Amino acid sequence: MGHHGPIEVTTTQPYDFTSKNKMYAIVMIAIGIVSIAAQFMTHHEQTWANLLWNNFIFMALALGATFFLALQYVAEVGWSAVIYRPLEAMGQSLPIAGIIMIIIIALGGQQIYHWMGDGLTDPNSANYDKIIAGKSAFLNPGFFWVRVILYFVIWSLFARLFRSNSLKMDEGSDSVGAYLRNRRSGAAFLVLFAVTESLMSWDFIMSIESHWYSTLFGWYTFAGLFVTTLAVLAFIVAYLKHRGYLEEVTEHHLHDIGKFMFAFSIFWTYLWFSQFMLIWYSNIGEEVTYFMLRQDHYRGIWLAAFFINFIAPFLILMTRDAKRKKFLLMFMSIVIFVGHWLDFYIMVIPGSMVTATHALAAHGAEAAHGAAAHHELLIGSIGWMEVGTTIGFIGLFAYITQHYMSKAPLVVKNHPMMEESLHHAI
């Protein structure tokens, strides 16, 4: 910090969102739209769940980036000042994720969430479910919709607020004031995030299997959400370096991002094992059904998600050198993303397929066909349409993120911590 005089920031130009990159993103979105349409025409029982699964990841990336940004401000961290703009750009997808989530739940909620079915809380109904009726004070459509809308309003407002104050730093007249406002906003956001992230994980994912519950679930979802965000952040920063942007980002900054990826991969593994071991050891009927369903019908994907998310980061990211190589970080980003893509599949699809089985059975054997006529359990699958849906969401995220990176300098000008970030060395 002994350096005096003007702070040297070389990346004062915005990112160039080329027409080629726009075309790639639009083609990916088109692949997603075609894949979703194909699913509605073929194995439509899984389509709404596939949309929830992929939009949840899309939402998680934007939410995780906003959380990480808030954390940097509140902790008054210096090293990360050069990567704020990619984080801000990632967070701008939140309103779109919210709109898509509302559409999915409004049109396909009964295909995903068993508790949304008719008559489950009415003691006089043939469909009455004592357990769901006992949870109806929390799991009822009115309160549910209030929570869902509140989540996205709160998250989107803070993502926009961090961005607008950051842009004011570029102007230079009140950069310290803008920084302090973001610090205060960050403190408020972290408190709200702690509550809304847990509630969101219960609402969007745990309530799919409304008879089951896990007190670790909010933490577990957070770990998956955050490590996936870190992987995508690492990919974006390494890609920008490769394209000649972010000259200020050195191998020391990459090392820190790599350390976060490694640490939260191990944290996720700890929570995965804790949740599984406690449920397996206590062997309580209402708890073990969750893992029995996954072991019996989804064992390959379930184990693959665990080993990819634990073994790959553990073996590859442990060394100092590995965290400092941009192409190795990009490779590990893809590996971790695929691993958590499978993990979110395991969290969403098995339970929603049970709901789809109930929904078909409720229409009566004469209205159903094939397996559902005999009330056999529908089993989820991963095929080209599922992969295509994911490609569509990646294209949408890539388009929005690149759009916002092209609207302002890629490094915040006049950031009070910039000098510390430029001289960061570990």
Distance (Å) of CA 277 to CA 30, 170, 309, 345, 364: 42, 50, 17, 21, 39
Take residue 82 and report the two structure tokens written for it.
């050069």
Determine the pLDDT at residue 11.
56
| Residues of the chain scoring pLDDT < 70 | 1-12, 363-375
Q: Where are the alpha helices (DSSP H) in 283-383?
A: 285-297, 299-316, 326-362
In sequence order, what are the beta bridge partners of 14? Answer: 409
- Whole-angstrom distance, CA of residue 339 vs CA of residue 263: 16
Would the pTM of this model clear 0.85, i.e. be above it?
A: yes
Spatial CB neighbours of 240, under 8 Å, sequence gap ≥ 6: 15, 86, 246, 249, 410
Helix (H), strand (E) at residue 217: helix 217-242
Give the containing element (helix H, strand E) for 156: helix 141-171
Burial class of 188 by CB neighbour count within 10 A (0 to 12, 13 to 18, 19+):
middle
**pLDDT of the residue at 372:** 44
CA distance 170 to 198: 35
What is the total residue count of the chain? 426
What's the pLDDT score for residue 12? 65
Q: Which residues pair with 409 in a beta bridge?
A: 14
